[in-house]
Amino acid sequence: MAPVVVLWLAMCLGGTWAVDKGNFKTCDQSAFCKRQRALKPGESPYRALLETMELTNTRLTLQLINDNNKVRLLLELYRLQGNITRVKINELKPLKPRYEVPDVLIREPPTEPLSLLSQDENGVVLSLGAESQRVIVSARPFRLDIMEGREVLMSLNSRGLLAFEHLRMRKDTYTTLKYSTLPPLSCILKMHFFKFIFLPPSHCKCLIFLFACQAENVDEEKVEDGMWEETFKSHTDSKPNGPSAVSLDFSLPGVEHVYGIPEHADTLRLKTTDNGDPYRLYNLDVFQYELYNPMALYGAVPVMLAHNTQRTTGIFWLNAAETWVDISSNTAGKTVFGKMLDYVQGSSETPQTDVRWISESGIIDVFIMLGPKPKDVFSQYASLTGTQSFPPLTSLGYHQCRWNYNDQEDVKSVDAGFDEHDIPYDFIWLDIEHTDGKRYFTWDTHKFATPKEMLQGLMDKKRKMVAIVDPHIKVDSNYKIHNEIRSRGFYIKNKDGGDYEGWCWPGSAGYPDFTRIDMRDWWASMFAYDQYEGSMENLYTWNDMNEPSVFNGPEVTMHKDAMHGAWEHRDLHNTYGFYVQMATAEGLIKRSGGVERPFVLTRAFFAGSQRYGAVWTGDNAAEWDHLKISIPMCLSLGLVGISFCGADVGGFFKSPSTELLVRWYQTGAYQPFFRAHAHLDTPRREPWLFGPENTALIREAVRQRYTLLPYWYQQFYQAHRTGQPVMRPLWVEYPQDPATFTLDDEFLIGKDLLVHPVTEEGARGVTAYLPGKDEVWFDVHTFQRHNGAQNLYIPVTMSSIPVFQRGGSIIPRKLRVRRSSTCMEHDPYTLFVALNSQVTQMGELYIDDGHTFNYEKEEFIHRRLSFANNILSSLNLAPDAKFTTQSWIERIVILGASKPSKITLKAADGQESQVEFEFDASMSVLTLRKPGMNSGADWTVTLQ
């Protein structure tokens, strides 16, 4: 193996299991971040030129000028459907086009009319439509305020931190030209009209001259270190376009809690950054990341949510370059912005959060989502970037993985172990060692000589496999994939025009340019069964290392001056993993002729990645704090649209204690993506290797997951339809309860299940907050009833998983657990009805085939379950849908019930029959046995 890879492996497998923070930049080591952060709040140099304003039915445009350097910017403002305001700022006349992020938005957002309310020499006021919402554009200095009635919802550039580093010629390039002989007038005229069109070499001098003149007129700024070239450790970034950073500040009066901007290993509520680095968004391969700091990790979603008891809003900063986010907590009355609030609101004590976004390149393109409710913000963001893909039902089961299962016999043995110990699972995974020398789309011919035989063995048991396919391609003339990519010119280029090469698991590797649609189409075609030899329909895909990871690159990633066609890698870095997962998901769809839903796990992600599959929290460690942090990390992802999230159960690095492993299984069983995974260098940890007692505890946790699959599947269907998160913080459902605003050791699944995992070593009890003054909550294990709006102390043993069902809900389960979810397809349902003082209790039951796109053709069952006036009924929510099921209702459990004298079932055909029941007076639990109606039929059950 190449020396660099050997050195990297030695580092990974050595005794020190911790991130080397020296491999990654701080803000002070990032020239543009340091430069922008040195700007202090104050009067902005930008003013709005009101005489340039143009207002159409759908858009306002207005020029801004920087009075320090006379560079003009173009402001565009749109009112979008769904209570969203879009603000774009770009150079009015850039030397060359600046990067605008494609493919992330699902469509060009539809607009709604803007109307002018008033205008004077100080600014303009525009109507945003509903509920007296308006935007105020102040001219000197430029500031943009969004208001509703007398309330200021958000202000842009109120602290004067708008900064836009215009593209310019390097001074040592044009100084020698500006006093030379003038080119002919015809050349100047040609350049005036055609300066963005490629010209022959004879016109190059003319082009440089004109750019030099433009730069001379406007560019008198001081040249600072790092503007035109920057060195970090042994790597030099050539920065051929010079400084190009953009920045804008947002003030949020009345707000003390902000969330989002994953991925960071930190608390759910974002912290202020005044005394440290900003939060960084820059996809990186971070070896065993450190907790509770703002370092960048594997993914980046530039979306922040702000919440108080009155309103939830969101900011979506659509920029794919390296980005830093500063957060300050303040009192509005103590700021320049506060003076306006004092006048408008009559108070100088309004709390305020100030946020500043800084990106290295691109433009300012920001979507302000005005809520007002949390669910409104989720819908608004989903309207822009799409919803969570609807996963195959099997992918919501348990996944067994390690780096690496050795060979086919090992896979067969592990598979048999689950049967022997009666533990269900759906997927077994293969890491990089299954390939022929890290050549993806291949198999090790000795260890996996007959992959179809292996896959068929799993299929016979209704189980599946995931194999890794990474985006670094071994440079090897005997490797078909490499030869195809090179011959088609699909590799990313280095700054000199050759194929970019870096070191990764295979040694020397090329990196396909997934930003190209023709490259993505070709990549997708490689998943066809006749191309990916040995693959079958029960083989799915894992995209790892797609930040992209480059072991010998700056910060273990790609050089920023590498080229994707006309664009530098710096412009689009954070979307690389997004494109890899997009192409892979499309490949799995195409191989089935568009019939089957894909399952693709990715490590790197961006806004919109939810459309293509699942993510996990990367290379965590077998430590209690890593177990705890998995909760806020997944909650943060859910808030920005990525519901299908999980963490490596047991921890990827190190070896967990038996107690930690059991507690991690109990936690993971109630997180959306449920996979155990471990490092190559760790001892084996299949669930039955820790003694019979612990095997039983793990078995019970996994079985609880399988009983709840109908509810999980229903929640993912809703997430796919609406954009609402599956795993959500309590404040989403209880937005007016401040006690929920900082909770991140418990969570809701949908709105009806509350989970407080045990994440403390040696715990003898946990304290769970049960929200809702008028709510009641039932322990799902004991059926004990508890009132809401209290901190409840819960004694725990090693078998305890504190989970509560909300009173007023109906949750379907399948209590017959088999070896995989597919084996349970036709099994019956048990309905758990939790009563409260409300008149009606509600729930839903969703059923389809579990794996195809036929649900888009209305081939599904979707029923409303309700209990009111002692009548439990099932109502068809999709009367035009076409689907039948063999499953039936075999049991109904009603919590908080009174004993009836008799129970009558009325079937869809009108026939009535008596239902047998049992009543536990000590727990007020009524159990109806074998009512026997089909799950897809109309029926009513009457308690008398």
729 domain residue, yes or no? no
Looking up residue 44, the CATH number of its domain turns out to be: 2.60.40.1760
Contact 356, 375 (CB under 8 A): no
Considering only CA atoms, which of 145, 162, 161, 118 is closest in space to residue 341? 145
98 with 246, same domain: the answer is yes
- Give residue 462's identity as a one-letter amino acid code: K
- CA–CA separation, 528 and 540 (whole Å): 12
Angle, vertex CA 516, rays to CA 92 and CA 576, nearest 5: 85
- CA dist 694 and 700 (Å) reads 10
In this structure, is residue 258 part of a structural domain?
Answer: yes
3-class state of residue 178 by DSSP: coil
Q: Strands across the sheet with 861-868, in order?
A: 912-914, 903-906, 939-943, 871-876, 861-868, 840-847, 809-813, 829-834, 889-895, 925-929, 916-920
- How far is residue 138's CA from residue 145's CA, in Å, rounded to a whole number? 8
Query: Do residue 245 and residue 369 come from a single domain?
Result: yes
256, 353 Cβ separation under 8 angstroms: yes
Beta bridge partners of 164: 246
Count of the separate structural domains present in the chain:
3
List, for the chain, all residue ranges whose pLDDT scores fall below the cut of 50.
1-16, 175-219, 333-339, 341-345
Q: Answer whether 333's CB lies under 8 Å from 384's CB.
A: no
254 shares a domain with 108: yes
Residue 545 belongs to a domain: yes
- Give the residue from 582, 609, 635 where a domain finishes: 582
DSSP 524: H
Instruction: With H, G, I as helix, E, B as strand and everything else as coil, classify residue 568.
Output: strand
Check if the beta carbon of residue 591 is closer than 8 Å to that of residue 528.
yes
651: left (phi over 0), alpha (psi -120 to 50) or beta: left
Please report, as a single letter, which amino acid is at residue 792.
L
Question: Would strands 674-676 and 648-649 be described as parallel, antiparallel, or unpaired?
Answer: parallel
Residues with Cβ within 8 Å of residue 257, at least 6 apart in sequence: 269, 306, 307, 308, 353, 731, 741, 742
pLDDT of amino acid 131: 67
Tokens of 916: 């047998």
Q: What is the pLDDT of residue 62?
A: 98
CB atoms within 10 A of CB 142: 25
In a domain, 602, yes or no: no
Predicted local distance difference test score (pLDDT) of residue 1: 41
Residue 720 inside a domain? The answer is: no
110 in the same domain as 246: yes
- Would you please indicate which residues are annotated as catalytic (active-site) residues? 544, 619
User: Do 482 and 364 lie in a common domain?
Assistant: no
> Cα separation of 347 and 340, whole Å?
10
Q: What share of the chain is helix, strand, coil (3-state, %, to 5)?
A: 25, 30, 45
pTM value?
A: 0.94
What DSSP assignment string belongs to 118-156? EEETTEEEEE-SGGGEEEEEETTTTEEEEEETTEEEEEE
Length of the chain: 944
SS (H, E, C) 61-94: EEEEEECCCCCEEEEEEEEECCCEEEEEEEECCC
CA atoms within 13 A on the CB side of 132: 7
Tell me, what amino acid is at 483? N
Q: Between the CA of residue 144 and those of 115, 137, 156, 345, 388, what are the distances in Å?
A: 16, 5, 5, 18, 33
Domain that holds residue 548: 469-582
Residues 6+ apart with CB under 8 A from 872: 831, 833, 865, 866, 892, 894, 940, 941, 942, 943
3-state class of 741 per DSSP?
coil
Choose one of 518, 548, 582: the last residue of a domain.
Answer: 582
Question: How far is residue 941 from each of residues 847, 879, 913, measured CA to CA in Å?
Answer: 21, 21, 10
Asked if residue 178 is part of any domain, the answer here is no
**3-state secondary structure string, 637-699?**
HHHCCCCCEECEECCCECCCCHHHHHHHHHHHCCCCCEEECCCCCCCCCCCCCCCHHHHHHHH
E-strand ranges in 848-929 read: 861-868, 871-876, 889-895, 903-906, 912-914, 916-920, 925-929
Q: Are residues 368 and 475 in the same domain?
A: no
Beta bridge partners of 489: none
> Where a domain ends, among 317, 341, 373?
373
**Residue 894 within any structural domain of the chain:** yes
Contact 636, 609 (CB under 8 A): no
Tens-digit pLDDT profile for residues 655-687: 999 999 999 999 999 999 999 999 999 999 999
Question: Taking Cα atoms as reference points, which of 825, 834, 615 lies closest to residue 709?
Answer: 825
Return the pLDDT at 334: 46
Question: Which residues contact residue 698 at a Cβ distance below 8 angstroms, ignoring those fewer than 6 apart?
Answer: 423, 661, 662, 665, 687, 690
d(CA 411, CA 904): 51
Kindly state whether residue 44 falls inside one of the protein's structural domains. yes
